[in-house]
Amino acid sequence: MPPPRKALIAITSAHAPLYPEGKETGLFITEALHPFLVFKKAGFDVDLVSETGSYQPDWLSQQKDWLNDEDKAIWEDHSSEFRSKLDDLLKPSDINSSNYGLFFASAGHASLIDYPEAKGLQSIVSKMNTDGAIISAVCHGGAIFPGIIDPSTGKSIIANRRVTGFTTQGEEEEGVLDTIKSWNRPTIEASAASSGATYVSPPGPWDAFTITDGRLVTGANPASAHVTAEAAVNAFDAI
């Protein structure tokens, strides 16, 4: 029996100064919006959840270079399904993992802060993985993986798997590597390595890029959110 055609998108609850003049990181809007639209188009019911039931948008993700007019219209329309679900986020205690067949960790640099310790979200993903669901993440969303343990191996679910995510080169180009270090958090490349995964870099830090390894689907950066979600749907349909 195939898993339920229902997707759960995780949203970071964290926020912190990252950009000039103290502007903050939080949810990178299109990294949740684009997967939401892909999943809806593919016939999935979609819910949004964060560890605390709260979120803050990333400053950069609201700028015109990163949020086109069509996406901005959905984001600013509080009656749109996407925005209304963001405005009324679920918490892990609201979630029955058996109702979902696909998990997607959206991101923003802020996910480096809360995803590693998001025990509620991690528990949901662990159960979904055991039940045979598709597990996916984009950009910094992979920060959740080291804490998701496969009970059959005692290791992270990405151990001995091929994954991608935001490059350390990209952190250097953005000038934020020292800030990440001040959070006492590893880069995505480092956390993948420490979990026993093989990190595969995109052709360039900002190129759309996704990898599918069985039921595990990962993407490299904001430009990859759409193609990663499409690859997750393809993986689901192949079950």
Residues with catalytic roles: 139-140, 171
Give CA angle at 130 (129, 136), nearest 5°. Answer: 5
Task: Count other Cβ atoms within 10 Å, centred on residue 190.
Answer: 13
Cβ atoms of residues 211 and 164 within 8 Å: yes
Burial of 177 (0-12, 13-18, 19+ CB in 10 A): middle
Cβ atoms of residues 134 and 125 within 8 Å: no
Q: Which of 119, 61, 63 is nearest to 91 (CA)?
A: 119
Q: Which residues are paired to 210 by β-bridges? A: 219
Give CA angle at 79 (49, 40), nearest 5°. Answer: 55
Helices (H) and strands (E) in the chain, counts: 9, 12
Cα–Cα distances (Å) from 106 to 15, 122, 127, 151, in that order, read 14, 14, 19, 24
Phi and psi for 179 in degrees, rounded to 5? Answer: -65, -40
Cβ atoms of residues 163 and 218 within 8 Å: yes
